[in-house]
Structure 1
Amino acid sequence: MVNQFPQVLTIAGSDCDGSAGMQADMNTFQRCGVYGMSVLTAAVAGNSYGIFASQPMPTAFIDKQFSVLADDFEIKACKTGMLTDAQTIKTVAKNYQKYDFGPLVLDPVIITKHGDMLLEEQAYETLKSDLIPLADVLTPNYYEAVKLTGVEIKTPADALKAAHILQEMGAKNVYVKGQHADDKQEEVTDVALLADGTSFSLSEAYVDTTHINGTGDLLSSCIVAQIAQGKALTDAFKIAKKFVTAAIANQIDVGHKFGPVNHLVDFKF
């Protein structure tokens, strides 16, 4: 039967070294057993040392990618990644509302896991006003949750407080990722808040490594894959957390500095 195989979409930038962005999403989709497609929003020139240049895609080209995919495929769930600027965010929000691509997992690429701001203020405000209210699942990292809510997060209770504020901003379900602080911590604890008010924590062992590029991409794209395969959101969150931990713990020797997580790790979904 045509289009019976689970199909998913990433709306993201291309990271030329493959460690993050669209490439990390596509690797995750394949490992999770779904067919991945992409809408390219930007191209990034970078490696394990850093990012050296980026080029946003024209909005007309983003529009066309959405329309040709909608003409042919039945996408069951989608996610966003790097959206570059306010105009790109507006374009993505417009197209998501125009086409039925299933539940939206919003990975708000605002601040890096090291605390560096990635969006200019206008784009940040546009993301809050135009995209967060569309999110079926919002997956901020520690720094993004603090920036979006103003909550000083030191405990899981603080993270849950932030998650409630993010729901008030429009996101239906919220997954706040825990901070990777230093080699003295024993666990990384994430906090999930579902649309029905149910909340729970997810804790896994902290791994001291510099090979953590693409952790946010892997988590959000794994959640997308589980949704497309009909998994309950609670199960999707738990699977994604364990997959991320396994991909970090089983390091792959690529890059000189901040290397990628290991999408090829032996993991049973």
Structure 2
Amino acid sequence: MDKNKDILLINDLPGVGKVALSAMMPIVSSMGFRVHNLPTAIVSNTLDYGLFEILDMSEYMKKTIGIWDELGFKFDAICTGFINSDEQVGLIEKIISDNKENDPLVMVDPIMGDDGNLYLGLSKNVVKNMREMCALADIVTPNFTEASFILYDEMKKDELDSHEIKEYIDEFRKLGSKSVVITSVKNKESGNYSIEGYSYSEDEYFSVPYDYINVRFPGTGDVFSGVMVGKVLEGKTLKEACKIASDFVRKAMEKDEKIVVDKRKGMNIEDNLQFLK
């Protein structure tokens, strides 16, 4: 198995809280890959606190990409999360284009909302940006709220039947996403929760059921995406990678639910790396 890969994570960097880059970097690096980062924003703390400061990093990104061009840095996988401006979409497109010779795996996690709403402080302009990002994705990983806003600008439904699930997935494929992973889907027919997806390389639709845990930790999507992309790079099928990532999130949540007092800070990522062994 070739771990000699350079992985670029493009996401926000929180000062307090294990979300975004703070959550993904220890996960992907613990799997043996060389991990690099490009922050889209510096955030004082997780948005769950209701009070926060966000510093846009577009100018830094632009200058950094220019320096990386001069130095000849290349990446084997490019994983994107929170996008803070229209300009950043173009900057990420440039990074992907600059690395075309490496044919990098591009994973887009369109971070912008959950539980039927956009995150606090985000405008609907972020929906347009994420829609553009989906066209760049080898794998797109929205939760159900994000999928609904990207496709329909609103939460049209709280749950889906089997036909509607396939419809949602196919709409992402029409946007340009090759493989699709929609997390946190509630099935109208069974009442159960599942991860619903389509794998481009296997040309198959798949479903990964999971047990719903009624506790909120910010950053669970980042954790899921970090594990999933690492396992795909290790050679697992997308369905296998989703199952491993889902199991990791469940074990971490079950453990941390009992011991983390302030859940707004996210899960204890480093302590939970034991579940990747």
User: Could you tell me whether the CA contact under 8 Å between 2:144 and 2:184 is conserved in 1?
Assistant: yes
Match of 2:180 in 1: 174
Which moved further from structure 2: 196-205 or 166-175? 196-205
Contact kept, 8 Å, 2:138 with 2:178, in 1: the verdict is: yes
Which letter maps to 1:24?
A: A
The 10-residue stretch of structure 1 (97-106 or 255-264) with the greater mean CA deviation from structure 2: 255-264
Gaps of 5+ in 1: none
Instruction: Name which of 231, 251, 259 aligns with 1:246.
Output: 251
What are the superposed Cα offsets for residues 137-188 of structure 1, whole Å, 9 maximum, x if unpaired? Answer: 01111111111223525135233321111111110011001159xxxx9953
Residues 89 and 255 of structure 1, relative CA distance in 2, 3 Å threshold? farther
- CA drift of 1:194 comes to 1.8
* Partner in structure 2 of residue 154 of structure 1: 159
The alignment's C-alpha RMSD in Å is 2.8
Instruction: Give structure 2 stretches of 5+ with no counterpart.
Output: none
Deviation at 1:234, TM superposition (A): 2.6
Partner residue of 1:112 out of 111, 114, 127: 114
C-alpha displacement at 1:52, in angstroms? 1.0
The SS at the match of 1:26 is: helix
Contact persistence 1:62–1:91 (CA under 8 A) = yes
| SS of the residue 2:206 aligns to | strand
1:60-139 aligned at under 5 Å gives the runs 61-69=60-68, 71=71, 73-100=73-100, 102-113=104-115, 115-117=117-119, 119-129=122-132, 131-139=133-141
TM-score, length-scaled by structure 2: 0.82
1:35–1:233 CA distance, 2 compared to 1 (3 A): same
> Taking structure 1 as reference, are residues 123 and 116 closer, same or farther at Cα in structure 2, changes over 3 Å only?
closer
State the percentage of identical aligned residues. 22
What number of residue pairs does the alignment pair up? 261
Q: State how far apart, in whole Å, the 2-side matches of 1:115 and 1:222 are.
A: 25
Aligned residue identity for 1:189:
S
Amino acid at match of 2:240: D
Given that 1:156 and 1:190 are in contact with CA atoms closer than 8 Å, whether structure 2 keeps it comes out as no
Please tell me whether the aligned partners of residues 146 and 153 of structure 1 are also in contact (alpha carbons under 8 angstroms). no
Cα deviation digits, residues 60-92 of structure 1 (max 9, x gap): x21343355564655321211111111122221
Shift in Å, 1:254: 4.3
Which amino acid letter does the alignment assign opposite residue 255 of structure 2? N
Q: In structure 1, what is the equivalent of residue 275 of structure 2?
A: 267
Partner-residue secondary structure (3-state), 1:159: helix
- Residue type at the aligned position of 1:260: G
**Structure-1-length-normalised TM-score:** 0.84
1:267 to partner: Cα distance = 1.4
Question: Per-residue CA shift, 1:78-110, capped at 9, x if unaligned?
Answer: 211111111122221222222246111100012
C-alpha separation in 1, matches of 2:94 and 2:240: 30
Q: Are 1:246 and 1:267, in contact at CA under 8 Å, matched by a contact in 2?
A: yes
Contact (CA 8 Å) 2:109, 2:142: kept in 1 or not?
Answer: yes
Q: 1:156 to 1:223 in 2, by over 3 A?
A: farther
Cα distance, 1:51–1:108 mapped onto 2, change above 3 Å: farther
Partners of 2:124 and 2:185 in 1: how far apart? 23
